[in-house]
A and B are shown apart, each in its own frame.
Chain A
Amino acid sequence: MRNGPEWLRRHPGFAYGLLAALLAVLPFIVGAGLGKGWVRVLDFALLYTMLALGLNIVVGYAGLLDLGYIAFYALGAYLFAWLSSPQFGLHLPFWLVLPLGAMLAGSFGALLGAPTLRLRGDYLAIVTLGFGEIIRIFMNNLDQPVNITNGPQGINLIDPISIGGFSLGTPHTLLGVHVFPPTLYYYLFLAFTLFTIFVAMRLQDSRIGRAWAAIREDEIAAAAMGINTRNVKLLAFAMGATFGGLAGGLFAAFQGFISPESFNLMESVMILCMIVLGGMGNIPGVILGAVLLTVLPEALRYLGDWQRAALGHVVVDPNDLRMLVFGLAMVAMMLFRPAGFLPSRQRRREFRAEDGVAEQEQASLYDAQA
């Protein structure tokens, strides 16, 4: 068919149908084509998409730089582990624990956001970074005097998600097809990711979304136009954290094991990179960034195999090379597409070196700096 994409654009129903079909069979194609391990990578791509969309509310919509976002993922994961594992002998159902984890993370989002309200830019980044580390260090050390988190060993044997007796943690044969857990989780994660996309889209195009954008553009003007900047910022922190907590709960159930190590600063930085790389503020861009940055590092693991095949032995540790290639890719990205692969309407303009806008922002500083 000539003009395929054009035809699809004029028949959006068909395009969505095609996309849905593709997403439905994706784990089988990937599993058959690339190996079973890649289905897990797919699962993580979905988890990171949720995380990136959540952080995008804080960073992309409201313009608040948060470097401790992974803490909310940790809180969701730990709450799931506490309420659904032998740690305390509790085995509550996931439909109760997941929302609780999301709520706990959301409350902490607002709680940790509160002291940072008067901070901007670099200072905000440093303080949120500190909060992120504090949560991780707590998890690392709360095994004494009362053992809550089991310290660096982490919590094991977390219950898999089980929907009405159908456990996602064990293989099943459905309609004669053998389906293993990562594939089952894929569908669950896909459902939650679609839910997250839906909420993120609706929030962006709403009274609340406009208030966030106004604060991002000019906080003083936003306040002077009647926006309660404190509440609206806290709401951004809380909403972002809620999705972090949700993803955390899913992660805990999927892995069956969590430890503080999974929630280090590098993870926060990675999620931020996904947003920046994909296109801050733009939902398709953020999704693309999350998928790319989950898949790329995995793909670069093959660098070791290639070296062995080509040279007979491994010259450079693929892990080192991986980070090098990754770093170079990020630098190249910032040079050639600073607004990301799929920049948002706003960002694209911002990065098009609008001298007028920059000048105005400089000039306006004098007017009102309380």
Chain B
Amino acid sequence: MALLSVENVAKRFGGLSALEAVSLSVNAGEVYGLIGPNGAGKTTLFNCMTGLYTVSDGAIRLDGVPIQNRKPHVIVGRGFARTFQNIRQFANMTALENVMVGRHVRTRTGVLGAVLRDRRSRAEEQVIRDRSRELMEFVGLKNRGRTLAGHLAYGDQRRLEIARALATDPKLLALDEPVAGMNPNERREMGELFLKLRASGITLLLIEHDVKLVMGVCDRVAVLDYGKKIAEGVPDEVRRDPAVIEAYLGGAPS
């Protein structure tokens, strides 16, 4: 059974049909790429999957359980985390605090525990801190914990968002254009991070423009154009698909 299955999902904004009968399925353990020209509906699909938008039609299942139109925090609780195309950090909190927020969904301390600081709450707080430090190191932000998120370099902010999403213990991690605005060197490093993520057992769903990167790291890709899926398959196949060349690569195969 697929880890994530999207079945005939449609999303309309008034008269505009941003997604039309989109279906795809992501298997556990793979890196799945979602590509398509600007405005194709990729981010909209992410927003539908993660509960930020309600879908107009269709179903989305995670591990067979419907998650469409559920609250974002419920979906995160089920093990599906994401990052944003336009970085959305808690800019005035430190980098470490950002990641610690990600642990919220896996921890329990309430008002009473926070005020009394009993043994259990103290222990939990320590675990949150330790795990968050670990994740900072994992994404390559060791020793940046005390820096304000808003003051981090652009590439580091992208990494921080990944660490924060990882803190929710996701099975499936969706990254919306994670290398946008990065130089080739940073892109390569990010590519390595994706492979490291996959090696740690996390399934990746990746929106990306960089065809070379997509071809390099993705097991399978789907192509969206004007809200419709026009192709799906292994990268080499999709690259040669005439519809894709027409719509996306603009007739210039790479």
Contact = CB atoms under 8 A, between A and B. Distances in A.
Interface of A: 198-199, 202-203, 206-211, 213-214, 217-218, 220-229, 235, 239, 345-346, 349-350, 354, 356-357, 360-361, 363-364, 366-368, 370
B117 interface: yes
Contacts of B115: 198-199, 202-203
A239 B111 contact: yes
A33 B29 CA distance: 76
Nearest to B53: A370
A360 B114 contact: no
A202 B117 contact: yes
B244 interface: no
B87 A220 contact: no
A228 B102 contact: no
B114 A368 contact: no
A227 B102 CA distance: 8
B120 interface: no
A228 B101 contact: no
A366 B97 contact: no
Q: Which of B52, B71, B107 has the most CB of A within 10 A?
A: B52
Say which size band chain B's interface belongs to: 35 or more
B86 A363 contact: yes
Nearest to A229: B73
B104 interface: yes
Interface stretch (B19-27, B76-84, B226-234): B76-84
A225 B87 contact: no
Q: Which of A207, A218, A349, A364 has the most CB of B within 10 A?
A: A207
B73 A368 contact: no
Interface string B146-178: 001010000000000000110110000000000
Ordered nearest first, which 9 A-B pairs have the shortest CB separation? A226-B105, A206-B114, A226-B76, A217-B90, A221-B88, A346-B92, A364-B86, A223-B72, A368-B52
B54 interface: yes
Given A217-B92, A356-B150, A224 B125 contact: no
B47 interface: yes
Interface in B73-132: 73, 76-77, 81-82, 84-93, 97, 100-107, 109-111, 113-115, 117, 121, 124-125, 128
A227 B105 CA distance: 6
Given A206-B114, A223-B52, A350 B92 contact: yes
B146 to A, nearest CB: 11
Contact of B87 (A198, A224, A360): A360
Contacts of A357: 91-92, 150
A228 B71 contact: yes
A349 B93 CA distance: 10
Given A206-B114, A217-B93, A235-B111, A367 B85 contact: yes
